[in-house]
Structure 1
């Protein structure tokens, strides 16, 4: 077992003890390593920020864990059906979505989670850059293998949005809203972005990737100065920081519940919940579709996730892509 794997296994042993002492002999036998190796791994965990007490004749006790997005921390008490049963962690990578594509092609199972503490090339919709500083936010991708046709894949963006909104509400007590097609807002500012991608052929999907970036503890000075849309973080709006590991567990549980429901009932109940979180339904908007501008009243979403807008002429437009802005005075 690698040093990193041994440390994660020690953390799992601590979690099973529930705060009680764990003897060096128990750790040694559990890992199949010497007592000297156990001490080395304990020292390395301490260097990473874990507070581990050592008492003669009692052993070791995990007193406090840092807010690090390690697999053992994420999976502690996760209790999901599919999501997060496999967790792949990177201290730094270019993009969790790119890593998810590699794992998807490599046969990783439905529900695999990819997490990075920092991204060097995080991306948003239409190739836009997603600022990804270390130690403050959640950058994650979830690999899914649903038995659906390719045209249905965009529906999963709304599953992501509802899951993120639920998790933010549970973690902070705040009331997030959603913006079509793939943003989550707090106080009218972007707090999370979603980028879903897929690998498919005409007859079916090989896998779908739910790319999710959530600004959790980002400070105002960490935001780029060239943002196209006002941004915020959960900590800014709440007035205090939130646990990244606690938030991640909450998010994966919500994705798990919604994914199970989606597979059993389809997208309709998720669309209804998304509409309840969207402030644009029933409002006059302007949609920039690049080739043309559409103005009208948002009436909701179609079953495939298209935005429905009724124009002044009485026609109902189905919009699959575009930037939406409320009309002035709305």
Structure 2
């Protein structure tokens, strides 16, 4: 694919760095000999030393002891493509990976790559977006490398109904996996595509699909996730409403680990949808403990009309159920939903 007309260029994964990092990470606190690394890479010992110096420049603290070898003491706090690849493969994922230091939009880049014929599935990850977008055309603030901006592209070629619950399942799988990083604070999903904790948003999901007459040709799942960002640095208009995993947990989280966990969760959600012909009961059961709106009075705007009721979970089709004042139940299949003040 040509990038001549684009100002954004990917930073390719350095395969030698992947080999070195795998060996050092698998060793843990044990030292790995330079001779072993040289043998695995097919290079000289001085060449290994040079490659380790490069990793040090990129934020890795590597300890070297004569006659013992090397070990990693600390990892970089920012995204690093080789480290992310190692972490993904350590979790059993073979997904294609493209990392961009700066990008207009990860969803837009995924669209371009699918249009150019790149094999899927693949993940697009960036440290900064200049034109990040959210649902309903909203802007997603994406200028902090402390946070995570990614998209995963698939080409399923299956009937649309098999992926009608994909966004909901993705939210479920992502919340479940991220909960391990913040065990003391419950992560929830605000229907249909926001992730919340204690009433504040820490992530937004955006799913975009291209359909033929009876098949989904491609589907792109995008996520903006506030990981280590400081909410005090957020724009004035979102500061009272937003939070980050760092603010929730009180400590800096390993960004590459978080990215790998999220990508694997998205893959899990996709497989859940395409492998099961009837997941409706499972979906509602999985949704219930993560429902951020349950029991609260909300207002849904559907085709310009305001509808107010008590949120009562989701139905078998993934629609939000509202208990109306007259005791009836109304299903909201699309629209914008806010808590009633």
Do both proteins adopt the same fold according to a TM-score greater than 0.5, normalized to the shorter chain?
A: yes
Q: Paired residue for 2:129?
A: 119
Distance 1:95 1:29, change over 3 A: same
Q: Paired residue for 1:303?
A: 316
* Inter-partner Cα distance in structure 2 for 1:130 and 1:199: 22
Q: Paired residue for 1:195?
A: 206
* Inter-partner Cα distance in structure 2 for 1:295 and 1:57: 71
Retained in 2: the 8 A contact 1:161–1:274?
no
SS in 1 for 2:102: strand
- 1:171 is displaced (CA, Å) by 0.5
Which residues in structure 2 correspond to 1:1-330 (within 5 Å)?
4-76=14-86, 78=88, 79-80=90-91, 83=93, 85-105=95-115, 106-110=117-121, 112-146=122-156, 148-173=158-183, 174-227=185-238, 230-265=241-276, 266-268=278-280, 269-312=282-325, 316-328=329-341
TM-score of the aligned structures, taking structure 2 as reference length: 0.83
- 1:26 is displaced (CA, Å) by 3.1
- 1:34 is displaced (CA, Å) by 4.2
- 1:136 is displaced (CA, Å) by 1.2
- 1:147 is displaced (CA, Å) by 5.2
Which portions of structure 1, spanning 4 or more consecutive aligned residues, are displaced by more than 6 angstroms? none
- 1:156 is displaced (CA, Å) by 0.9
Retained in 2: the 8 A contact 1:287–1:322?
yes
User: RMSD across aligned C-alpha pairs, in angstroms?
Assistant: 2.7
Number of residue-to-residue matches in the alignment = 325
Distance 1:270 1:70, change over 3 A: farther
* Inter-partner Cα distance in structure 2 for 1:5 and 1:80: 18
Gaps of 5+ in 2: 1-11
User: Can you list the C-alpha shifts for 1:157-207, whole angstroms capped at 9, x where unaligned?
Assistant: 111211222133210111012111100111101111000112221221222
* Inter-partner Cα distance in structure 1 for 2:312 and 2:120: 38
- 1:142 is displaced (CA, Å) by 1.9
SS in 1 for 2:253: coil
Distance 1:326 1:21, change over 3 A: closer
- 1:286 is displaced (CA, Å) by 1.5
- 1:290 is displaced (CA, Å) by 4.8
Gaps of 5+ in 1: none
* Inter-partner Cα distance in structure 2 for 1:3 and 1:118: 18
Q: Please identify, of 178-187 and 317-326, the stretch whose mean Cα deviation from structure 2 is larger.
A: 317-326
User: Can you list the C-alpha shifts for 1:124-180, whole angstroms capped at 9, x where unaligned?
Assistant: 111211112333112111223445323553411111211222133210111012111
